[in-house]
Amino acid sequence: MKRRNFLQATGLTGLFILFRAEALAAPQVVPNRPPGYPMDFNAYLRIDPDGRVACMVGKVEMGQGNMTSLAMLAAEELDVPLERVEMLMGDTDLCPWDGGTGGSLSIWQFGPVLSAAAAEARAALLQMAGEHLQVPADRLEVKAGVVSVKGDPARQVTYGQLVQGRRIERHLAGVKPKPVSAYTVVGSSAPRKDALEKVDGSARFSADQKLPGTLHACIVRPPAHGTTLKSVDTSAAERVPGVRVLRDGNLVAVLHEAPDQARKALDLVKANFDGTPRALDDRTIYRHLADLAGTAKVGVQEGDLKAAESRAVTLVEADYLNAYVAHGAIEPHSAVAQWKDGRMTVWAGVQAPFRVKAQVAEALGLPAAKVRIITPQIGGAFGGKAMGPHAVEAARLALKAGAPVQVVWNRREEFFLDTFRPAAVVKIRSGLDQAGRIAFWDCRVSGTSDREADIGYEFPAKRFSSTGDTGDIGTSGAGGLHPLPTGAWRAPGANTNVFARESHIDTLAAKAKVDPLAFRLSHLTDPRVIRVLKAAAERFGWVAGVAPSGRGVGVACGSWRGTIDAAMAEVAVDRGTGQVKVKRVVLAQDMGLVINPDGARQQMEGGIIMGLGYALSEGLRFKEGRVLDENFDTYRIPRFSWVPAIETVLVQNPGLQAQGGGEPPIVCLGAVLANAIHDAVGARVLELPMTPERVLEAIKQA
Amino acid sequence: MAQTTSFTLNGKRVRVATDPGRMLVWVLRHDLGLTGTKVGCEATLCGACTVLVDGEPTFSCSTPLADVAGKSVLTIEGLAKDGKLHPVQRAFQEHSAFQCGYCTPGMVLRAYALLKKNPRATRAEIIEELEGNLCRCGAHVRILAAVEAAGREMGGVL
């Protein structure tokens, strides 16, 4: 659709001029410098004699591309070519402390720390060069790591010559990083630094470590959550040549130098468990959670809810449900531990090596200084490797074994020991006033937090309450609110709450007989959200219409970590089978300054595709503590044939510091597809995933 | 019980003395030290373990060693020649057709096998061929683009 048509369709003009002024006026979302990051820039950067820059960070690469974008920040501030920056990530001996990789924090929170370190290092290098060349620093310029005298380029010295591989023993206070306008590396797409090793098979993941004499451990697991080991008979396994059995409290493992032989021997172990699993399953869980709604705490309350409700002429109330969802990284949890010279070294796929270091030290009763965590490549995590139970298991066994021990979970263990995205019930009561505007909004979240439940729609009165932070950011065991372990899952809380809110907004728009985009825009004041919605509409070619229009188009907007997303989708629904075919998704995103545009788009494409899963097919089946999905045959994750035409739009907002990039693109998917399905067939699906059965059922009810 | 199995691995003859009933992936990774082949589901459900046996994509997690006796096995380590990436690998690199990279060896090998037979494979044929190889990060769009680009290049040389 041409812009002119779009403007006609939405009935709005003059927007494109307004955007810029509004963006400049928008409040900056800037995180505080989190405590714990070292102030000394030498902790992050080392310049080798040949001019290569080693950049040490406690963040880890798990596919999201921060190896490249962090290197870009360092290259930018130091004025060295990107290919000369080598990233050393997630090694607790060699890298500065970090709180963990997750929450889309690598750039948003840690980026400014690294930029400041590199800027200070550059200023120190310039000062050293000035002394070396005997000119004032302000007469010097830097190109590709070579410092020369302005107008006299023959007088030059390289970073490598200045530093000679040593620490830079000088510090300068108050050095400011470059202004965005001076950027030459940041803001232009860069190829991924991890490409070669990933296409030629040489990339090392945790299970690929080759320490001589390594024993592979397979661990005796309970059949159900809520049960514990009562007795175990390992005699048959112990008779297998080459097999060792180790026991450390409740941890019982069968070890063999070959992984498959260890697994085979584990089958010979007879174990008895006792305990009473909770009598809940994937159907009764919602009643269980809803019953807890009374314990919800009010987070936000504004306006007089009662008075506002009395002005409502149309009331809409609905419960939105979403299932437990697995992380499903293709790389299982893997760790190799080696006890040597009084120190424990663990190679492990973990998102937070420093947190896991503390976790391992505590489990072994060692001082933290005696533990080193090394994070090789990670084959996907999405929050599922936030903690290091596998690292702890390997370390406990290595301590006893007198040999390196490798622990690699199999797929069944993955589906049992995962920290699932919590199931949740979101109850929203709302209504329209006489003018067809939203009169009030009362949202109660049970099972997860109310994070991102509000994106700033204008509600005369509103209340948001939730049963709290029930492990959707940290991790929780199976004994609390949830009968299964829960934890962070790509944009914790947001997928649940955006699905509920944006579905409900659409229902209200339909009741008001207003186009769902226009209805949203008329209730929004945040210029960033408005701008992103309009950018999505322009690319999509949104034509105004009241849902259900039969076209199968939907819209939703959401936010996470300071980033704003708006999605539009087109679906086809088979009324006979309930099967949903997603034909097209447009995703527009304002993430502030974009460090690596192509990297950002990779995350947007990945978020859309991963989002198809929680929206349409992924819901963990369980019964009385047993997880019934044990592999990818019954737990269906997105495949090539599901992939729609995808278009991504990066809404330029370089005046705003870089915000989150890894998680935000996934938050709209449940809602945008629910809304598109409703638009197609006039049926509202209130439960994720929207399986063919549920779509059929909704069509029947409609 | 242990017995010697001979096959060709990445162009070289190898002899392995082990139980021929063991699955190929463990022999490749553990006994022969080729860790480019990955383990994801151990049940032919994810494709991370894909290798080529006499040119055919094969789930090495569920293929007993005995099945490859006398045959030719190609793993990701054998695809580049003389330090030069194969066009399929280069296309994956140039399109950033991966994120975490764990499923990549299996994707590359299956795509290579398809294009070797049919460098003009249509997008629908590529999708059908890759359907059983899972990628959780969502690199699908780029993988398809990379395979198409590699096909154009391979079609040109054939």
- B12 shares its domain with B73: yes
The model's pLDDT over A582-641, given as tens digits with 9 standing for 90+, comes to 999 999 999 999 999 999 999 999 999 999 999 999 999 999 999 999 999 999 999 999
Cβ–Cβ contact B64 with A under 8 A:
no
- B126 shares its domain with B63: no
Other CB atoms within 10 Å distance of the CB of residue A362: 12
- Domain-terminating residue out of B33, B54, B78: B78
Cβ–Cβ contact B139 with A under 8 A:
yes
User: What's the N-to-C CA distance of chain A in angstroms?
Assistant: 32
Band of residue A30 on the pLDDT scale cut at 50, 70, 90: very low
> Tell me, what's the pLDDT at A325?
98
| Mutation site, A189, A194, A199, A602, interface B, largest B CB count within 10 A | A199
* Alpha carbon distance A595, A532 (integer Å): 18
Please provide the average confidence, as pLDDT, over all residues in chain A: 93
> Which of A191, A380, A643 is opposite residue B102, by nearest beta carbon?
A380
- Model confidence at A399: pLDDT above 50: yes
From chain B, the residues in CB contact with A195 under 8 A are: 92-93, 96, 98
| Mutation site, B60, B95, B128, B141, interface A, largest A CB count within 10 A | B141
> Which of B96, B99, B140 is opposite residue A643, by nearest beta carbon?
B140
Nearest-by-CA chain B residue for A609: B138
* Alpha carbon distance A446, A653 (integer Å): 35
* Alpha carbon distance A695, A673 (integer Å): 12
- Model confidence at A164: pLDDT above 90: no
Cβ–Cβ contact A367 with B under 8 A:
no
Residue A556's alpha-carbon distances to A58, A123, A519, A674, in angstroms, are: 35, 46, 11, 9
Contact of A63 with B101, CB cutoff 8 Å: yes
- B67 shares its domain with B108: no
| Bridge partners, A274 (sequence order) | A228
Preceding omega of A654 cis (within 30 degrees of 0): no
Q: Give the pairing type, strands A85-89 and A687-688.
A: unpaired
CA A633, distance to chain mean position in Å, is 25
Whether residues B136 and A643 touch (CB distance < 8 A) is answered with: no
From chain B, the residues in CB contact with A664 under 8 A are: none
Other CB atoms within 10 Å distance of the CB of residue A31: 15
- Model confidence at B6: pLDDT above 50: yes
> Tell me, what's the pLDDT at A661?
95
* Alpha carbon distance A338, A214 (integer Å): 9
From chain B, the residues in CB contact with A198 under 8 A are: 92, 98, 101, 104
Nearest-by-CA chain A residue for B128: A641
> Tell me, what's the pLDDT at A517?
98
Q: How crowded is the C-beta side of A225, counted as CA atoms within 13 Å?
A: 27
> Tell me, what's the pLDDT at A32?
59
Whether residues B46 and A632 touch (CB distance < 8 A) is answered with: yes
| Count of positions (residues) in chain B | 158
Backbone torsion region of residue A536, taken as left when φ is above 0, otherwise alpha when ψ lies between -120 and 50, otherwise beta: alpha
> Tell me, what's the pLDDT at A9?
36
> Which of A199, A411, A638 is opposite residue B85, by nearest beta carbon?
A199
Contact of B89 with A199, CB cutoff 8 Å: yes
- Report, as an integer, the average pLDDT of A177-204: 97
- B55 shares its domain with B114: no
The model's pLDDT over A66-108, given as tens digits with 9 standing for 90+, comes to 999 999 999 999 999 999 999 999 999 999 999 999 988 899 9
* Alpha carbon distance A276, A224 (integer Å): 9
- Model confidence at B147: pLDDT above 50: yes
| Percentage above 70 pLDDT, chain A | 94
| Burial degree of B67 (CB within 10 A; 0-12, 13-18, 19+) | middle
- B11 shares its domain with B72: yes
CA A209, distance to chain mean position in Å, is 26
CATH number of the domain that B21 lies in?
Answer: 3.10.20.30
- Domain-terminating residue out of B78, B109, B128: B78
* Alpha carbon distance A575, A685 (integer Å): 14
Backbone torsion region of residue A124, taken as left when φ is above 0, otherwise alpha when ψ lies between -120 and 50, otherwise beta: alpha
The model's pLDDT over B136-146, given as tens digits with 9 standing for 90+, comes to 999 999 999 99
| Mutation site, A200, A206, A614, A636, interface B, largest B CB count within 10 A | A200
Cβ–Cβ contact B44 with A under 8 A:
no
- Report, as an integer, the average pLDDT of A241-267: 97
- B92 shares its domain with B73: no
* Alpha carbon distance A356, A287 (integer Å): 36
* Alpha carbon distance B103, B111 (integer Å): 12
Sorted by where each starts, the structural domains of chain A and their CATH numbers stand as 41-197 (3.30.365.10), 206-275+333-408 (3.30.365.10), 285-325+419-701 (3.30.365.10)
- B147 shares its domain with B100: yes
* Alpha carbon distance A601, A587 (integer Å): 10
* Alpha carbon distance A410, B43 (integer Å): 10
Cβ–Cβ contact B79 with A under 8 A:
yes
Contact map slice: A 368-427 vs B, CB within 8 A: 377-380, 382, 408, 410-411
- Model confidence at A307: pLDDT above 90: yes
Whether residues A610 and B102 touch (CB distance < 8 A) is answered with: no
- Model confidence at A29: pLDDT above 90: no
| Mutation site, A64, A194, A330, A413, interface B, largest B CB count within 10 A | A330
Cβ–Cβ contact B82 with A under 8 A:
no
Band of residue A471 on the pLDDT scale cut at 50, 70, 90: low
From chain A, the residues in CB contact with B131 under 8 A are: 639-641
Band of residue A165 on the pLDDT scale cut at 50, 70, 90: confident
- Report, as an integer, the average pLDDT of A12-17: 31
- Helix, strand, coil shares of chain B, percent, nearest 5, are 40, 20, 40
Whether residues B142 and A204 touch (CB distance < 8 A) is answered with: no
* Alpha carbon distance B152, A520 (integer Å): 45
From chain A, the residues in CB contact with B123 under 8 A are: none
Min distance B60 CA to chain A CA atoms (Å): 13
DSSP states of A394-455 as a string? Answer: HHHHHHHHSS-EEEE--HHHHHHH--BBPPEEEEEEEEE-TTSSEEEEEEEEESS--TT---
- B107 shares its domain with B145: yes
Contact map slice: A 631-650 vs B, CB within 8 A: 631-633, 637-641, 643, 646
Cβ–Cβ contact B40 with A under 8 A:
yes
Cβ–Cβ contact A292 with B under 8 A:
no
- B74 shares its domain with B106: no
Q: Closest Cα partner for A391 from A410, A416, A367, A372?
A: A372
- Helix, strand, coil shares of chain A, percent, nearest 5, are 35, 25, 40
Q: Closest Cα partner for A105 from A174, A58, A54, A55?
A: A58
| Bridge partners, A253 (sequence order) | A219, A246
**Structural domain span for residue B72:** 3-78
| Bridge partners, A165 (sequence order) | none
- B16 shares its domain with B45: yes
How many structural domains is chain B composed of? Answer: 2
The model's pLDDT over A540-594, given as tens digits with 9 standing for 90+, comes to 999 999 999 999 999 999 999 999 999 999 999 999 999 999 999 999 999 999 9
> Which of B33, B99, B128 is opposite residue A210, by nearest beta carbon?
B33
* C-alpha Rg value of chain B to the nearest Å: 15
- B100 shares its domain with B153: yes
Question: Is the predicted ipTM greater than 0.95, yes or no?
Answer: yes
> Tell me, what's the pLDDT at B46?
98
Beta strands in A506-602 (DSSP E): 553-560, 563-573, 580-590
Backbone torsion region of residue B137, taken as left when φ is above 0, otherwise alpha when ψ lies between -120 and 50, otherwise beta: alpha
Min distance B158 CA to chain A CA atoms (Å): 23
| Bridge partners, A462 (sequence order) | A302, A441
DSSP character at residue A165: T
Cβ–Cβ contact B42 with A under 8 A:
yes
* Alpha carbon distance A493, A487 (integer Å): 10
- Report, as an integer, the average pLDDT of A214-230: 97
- B121 shares its domain with B138: yes
| Count of positions (residues) in chain A | 702
CATH number of the domain that B104 lies in?
Answer: 1.10.150.120
- Domain-terminating residue out of B78, B105, B130: B78
Min distance A631 CA to chain B CA atoms (Å): 7
Q: Closest Cα partner for A76 from A140, A142, A129?
A: A142
Q: pTM of the full predicted structure?
A: 0.95
Contact map slice: A 485-544 vs B, CB within 8 A: none
Min distance A483 CA to chain B CA atoms (Å): 25
Angle (nearest 5°) at CA A388 between A100 and A478: 110
Contact map slice: A 582-611 vs B, CB within 8 A: 598, 602, 605-610
| Burial degree of B81 (CB within 10 A; 0-12, 13-18, 19+) | exposed
Cβ–Cβ contact B125 with A under 8 A:
no
